[in-house]
Amino acid sequence: MKNALIFLIPLFFIVHSAQSQFLIPGEGFMDVKLGYDWDEIEWELGFRGFKVDKADIDSASLAVAQKAGIDFDFMVNYQCIMWAPVTKLYLKDNKVIMMQFSSYPEYNKMLCADIGTEEGLNFWDNSETVKKIYNNAERFDYGDKAYFLIKEKGLVIELTNDEVRSMFIFKPEME
């Protein structure tokens, strides 16, 4: 039995790491979904995070939400989640309307290694890859970061030093 476990544990990690996990714009990531209320997200993520009033939110986060057409009441910051690189949630009427997934905290780099979009965009891809996959992406710059908005998909991509480092997902407005 011990030998079987020694064999199965590495096999689990090989199979798990070979499977990509998708951020699905307009929907969510695994069991973390847009439209959930804060309590449901707390249950899925394992803890509540830190509430940030709209007046105290950094200007870059506000700019991304504004460009995406997201009106929100407050934001929740997360750090060091064991299984998902969720760093910010934007909530309106206590429902999640936009999420940020980020590779910035050192811990999240490992979590982002096999995460991408269904179209094939992954963390650390460059701006040329973004333009190739999303040829209708609208670029805007804020500070030292470049952003690509794909509004009809519900996706904002953030690049630092020409590498995808964050992805924001939201429900696109239906025309």
CB count within 10 Å of CB 12 equals 10
Residue 16 has pLDDT above 80, yes or no: no
Average pLDDT of span 8-12 = 41
Residue 57: the pLDDT is 95
Backbone angles phi, psi at 69, to 5 degrees: 80, 25
Which is nearest to 74 in space by CA: 94, 48, 59? 94
CA–CA gap between residue 18 and residue 114 (Å, rounded) = 8
Residue 14 has pLDDT above 60, yes or no: no
Residue 62: the pLDDT is 96
Residue 29: the pLDDT is 82
**Interval 74-126: pLDDT, tens:** 999 887 666 677 789 999 999 999 999 888 766 667 777 788 899 999 999 99
Average pLDDT of span 8-21 = 44
Residue 49: the pLDDT is 87
- Domain limits, the chain: 21-170
> Which range, of 59-63, 105-109, 155-159, averages the lowest pLDDT?
105-109
CA–CA gap between residue 25 and residue 98 (Å, rounded) = 10
Percent of the chain having pLDDT more than 90?
A: 56
CA–CA gap between residue 57 and residue 61 (Å, rounded) = 7
pTM of the model: 0.82
